[in-house]
Amino acid sequence: MEDLSGDPIADLITSFNELNSSTAEELDEEPSPLEFMRYVARNTPFVVRGGAVDWQAIKRWNANYLREQLAGHRVNVAVTPFGNADAPTPMEGQDELVFAKPHEEDQHFEEFLKYLTTQEKGGLGGEVRYAQTQNDNLRNEYSFLYSQVPPSIPFARIALQKRPDAINMWIGSSQSVTALHRDNYENVYVQVAGSKHFVLLPALCQPCVNERELVPASYSRREDHLHLETEEGDKVPFAVWDPDEPEMRATKYSHLATPLRVTLNPGDMLYLPAMWYHKVSQSCSEEGICVAVNYWYDMEFSGPLYPLTSLVRTLGNQVTK
């Protein structure tokens, strides 16, 4: 292992680790707006166990209910061979990774749901389907259900003085994994059915995640299989290190990362601070589905945190590429 003594980036990460907890704080009720703002100021995650248990969504959204409510509707579904939508993926027969975007198609909701539950309960192979459009779909595609969640998270609305930029519905199975990435949003994530398993890293761990410029590629249906084809267009900068396989594709800094691990069960709420890296995998309810809702609030770009995070990215990429 390379000697990192005196290395400014190694010092940054170890100093952060020394000053911060390696577990996410657990609250047993929602924070006040001021309490929430203290977490935003520290850019530090927390979980509210049972914070959303009283939501109608938590009480009602089982497979039967969703099937009834969305009967006759078509929804956008991401289709991949391995549950690898928006993930670094080797092209067949090659070592080089590309950024694999899913095949997207509209499906009858009943058919989509039946596929998920049958595959999950039967332990079957085959293509993996995930409703994960992240385009404010709960106020659009799934607007029939929107009245069963709050239009905003009160503590976040009051603290941040913003309405959510997007409210996203996620319906999938244990086959899908969201690869390690980060978003420029303050994120409140609520589990509805099944469980989500988060692996979290602060933005300053950028030098650990091995960001590479990946050629974009997309899956498309070809008779009996999904075909991955590269695309023209800008390369996609993306983390290729996986904290669950820490020896593979590691940078010289990866071993310094101390990921926080959080599992959300139905009714739990996670504050995922802006710019934190997160990898998300899923377990299903007994019915064979995993359902969640998240609220994205625009982050604050003024102040020092955003430009400092960009600096670390520049330095990280200089050293690790």
Q: Kindly tell me which of 215 and 319 has the beta carbon lying closer to its own copies.
A: 319
Q: Which residues contact 129 (CB under 8 A, 6 or more apart)?
A: 77, 78, 79, 107, 112, 115, 116, 172, 173
The verdict on 203 binding its own copies (CB under 8 A) reads yes
CA gap 130, 85 in Å, rounded: 8
The verdict on 23 binding its own copies (CB under 8 A) reads no
The only residue of 75, 159, 179, 284 in contact with its own copies, by rule CB under 8 A? 159
CA within 13 Å, CB half, 291: 24
Quick note: the x/- pattern for its own copies over 291-310, rule CB under 8 A, is ---------xxxxxxxxxxx
Is-contact 273 40, C-beta < 8 A?
A: yes
The verdict on 12 binding its own copies (CB under 8 A) reads yes
CA gap 66, 105 in Å, rounded: 19
Tokens matching residue 78: 């991401």
The only residue of 4, 30, 44, 139 in contact with its own copies, by rule CB under 8 A? 44
The verdict on 228 binding its own copies (CB under 8 A) reads no
With left for phi above 0 and alpha for psi between -120 and 50, is residue 67 left, alpha or beta?
A: alpha
The verdict on 53 binding its own copies (CB under 8 A) reads no
Determine the interface stretch with its own copies among 36-44, 257-265, 277-285, 289-297 (rule: CB under 8 A).
36-44
Tokens matching residue 3: 């000697």
- Work out how close the CB of 315 gets to its own copies at its nearest, in angstroms, rounded to a whole number: 6
Q: Kindly tell me which of 94 and 302 has the beta carbon lying closer to its own copies.
A: 302
Q: How many residues bind its own copies (CB under 8 A)?
A: 39
Instruction: Name the residue with tokens 């959303």.
Output: 52
Angle ∠(260,261,264) on CA atoms, nearest 5: 130
- Work out how close the CB of 314 gets to its own copies at its nearest, in angstroms, rounded to a whole number: 4
The verdict on 8 binding its own copies (CB under 8 A) reads yes
Q: For residue 26, what are the β-bridge partners?
A: 47
The verdict on 34 binding its own copies (CB under 8 A) reads yes
- Work out how close the CB of 96 gets to its own copies at its nearest, in angstroms, rounded to a whole number: 27
Quick note: the x/- pattern for its own copies over 206-225, rule CB under 8 A, is --------------------
The only residue of 40, 58, 63, 289 in contact with its own copies, by rule CB under 8 A? 40
CA gap 35, 45 in Å, rounded: 12
Q: Which residues contact 114 (CB under 8 A, 6 or more apart)?
A: none
DSSP run (H or E) holding 169: strand 166-172
Quick note: the x/- pattern for its own copies over 117-156, rule CB under 8 A, is ----------------------------------------
The verdict on 1 binding its own copies (CB under 8 A) reads no
Is-contact 182 276, C-beta < 8 A?
A: yes
Determine the interface stretch with its own copies among 9-17, 131-139, 208-216, 226-234 (rule: CB under 8 A).
9-17
- CA nearest neighbour of 132 among 150, 112, 115, 114: 112
Instruction: Name the residue with tokens 């670094």.
Output: 88
Determine the interface stretch with its own copies among 39-47, 78-86, 123-131, 188-196 (rule: CB under 8 A).
39-47
The verdict on 272 binding its own copies (CB under 8 A) reads no
Which residues contact its own copies (rule: CB under 8 A)? Answer: 8-9, 11-12, 15-16, 19-21, 33-34, 37-38, 40-44, 158-159, 202-204, 300-312, 314-315, 318
